[in-house]
């Protein structure tokens, strides 16, 4: 990589409830990198909660903000671990940015049924207006709409279901698998 080339980031993509934030935070700690969650960044930069974005400004405005925040994070010269919102990949420009060879993009993949069982608590739904009505149906629809986009940008696919069901510390187990996979791939794996 040339001296002026921006650093690559480790970026988590995947559906709501796949554990991008908790797993990402753990992986960042392990790699000794800063952890950044795009939803948290949007809320802190704009002073507006995610639910408010959807209710008052609409989804398109939220996607604009999300695209812009993520573009800035990916451009940052200090490497970090970034957890994206589940719908970030909807924007073609974001997918193009994620496909830059310097980033390592990890898709935490799971079936909508499994995800629904994990985000049934009310608190978990507060920042997820898209799941407000019938989460099971919404997750099926969103998964159908986004699956190919996640596949398009992912360097690594981690199937979280078997790892999580077989562990009493499910998110820790997924984070460990991510770290081991990144170790195995090494620097040479960067696209
Ligand atoms: C969304 C996912 C949420 C949040 C917003 C929209 C989506 O983030 O950005 O509610 O469209 O899938 P998480 O994936 O972190 O829950």
pLDDT, one tens digit per residue, over 19-55 is 999 999 999 999 999 999 999 999 999 999 999 999 9
How far apart are the C-alpha atoms of 29 and 23, rounded to whole Å? 10
What is the CA(85)–ligand 1 centre distance, in A? 4
Ligand 1 site-directed mutation target among 12, 18, 20, 39, most atoms within 8 Å of CB: 39
What is the CA(2)–ligand 1 centre distance, in A? 35
- pLDDT tens digit sequence for 52-78: 999 999 999 999 999 999 999 999 999
Nearest CA residue ID for atom 3, ligand 1: 85
How far apart are the C-alpha atoms of 102 and 8, rounded to whole Å? 4
Residues 6+ apart with CB under 8 A from 147: none
How far apart are the C-alpha atoms of 50 and 129, rounded to whole Å? 8
Q: pTM of the predicted model, to two decimals?
A: 0.93
């Amino acid at each position: 990589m040339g001296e002026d080339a921006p650093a690559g980031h480790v970026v988590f993509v995947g559906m709501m409830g796949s554990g991008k934030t908790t797993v990402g935070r753990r992986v960042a700690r392990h790699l000794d990198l800063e952890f950044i969650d795009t939803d948290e960044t949007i809320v802190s930069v704009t002073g507006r909660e995610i639910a408010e974005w959807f209710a008052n400004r609409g989804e398109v405005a939220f996607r604009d903000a999300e695209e812009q925040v993520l573009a800035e994070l990916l451009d940052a010269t200090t490497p970090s671990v970034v957890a994206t919102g589940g719908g970030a990949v909807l924007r073609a420009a974001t997918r193009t940015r994620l496909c830059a060879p310097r980033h390592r993009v990890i898709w935490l993949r799971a079936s909508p049924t499994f995800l629904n069982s994990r985000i049934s608590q009310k608190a978990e739904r507060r920042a997820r207006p898209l799941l407000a009505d019938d989460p099971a149906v919404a997750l099926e629809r969103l998964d159908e709409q986004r699956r190919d986009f996640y596949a398009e940008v992912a360097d690594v696919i981690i199937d979280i279901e078997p790892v999580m069901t077989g562990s009493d510390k499910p998110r820790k187990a997924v984070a460990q698998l991510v770290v081991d996979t990144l170790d195995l791939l090494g620097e040479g794996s960067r696209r």
